[in-house]
Structure formats: structure tokens, C-alpha cells
Amino acid sequence: MDIDQASNFLACTILIGSGITVVIAFVLLINNLCNRFWQPLNLPEFMNPTAPRRFAETHEMPEEKVAPTLDKK
């Protein structure tokens, strides 16, 4: 790597880092400005990872078993 490639790499690294910093600052600014208008996202219960899970208990299971059938054409 010669001095031209090294200087280009350094300049690009600095510019990309500055660009990412500006984008993050812009997103934070927009988030803080619009915070009072945003409502929390209401996911269905089966998609919510923090919702308590409930499984069927033995007294809730049906008594008779249904045998599987094959569809014959």
C-alpha cells in the first residue's frame, strides 16, 4: 500500500464515520421531535415475545381421541 492508497483509505474512513454519526444524530433528533405523536406498537399476543405463555392443562384436553384419516381419491 503506497501513500496515495493510505491517504484515500484514511479520508474515506473519516468521511464514512462522520456520515454515520450525522445519520444517527438526525434519527435521534426526529425521534425526540415526534415522540409525543408516536403511539406504541400493539402487536398481537402471539407475536409479543414478552407476553406470558399459557399451555393447555390436562383437564382442558378432550377425553376421546380422534383417529387420523387419509383422504383417498
Over the chain (73 residues), the average pLDDT of each successive run of 10 is 93 97 90 71 65 79 82 76
pLDDT at 63: 81
The grid coordinates of residue 33 equal 421531535
pLDDT at 22: 97
pLDDT at 9: 96
pTM of the model: 0.46
The grid coordinates of residue 11 equal 479520508
Provide Rg for the chain, Cα atoms: 29
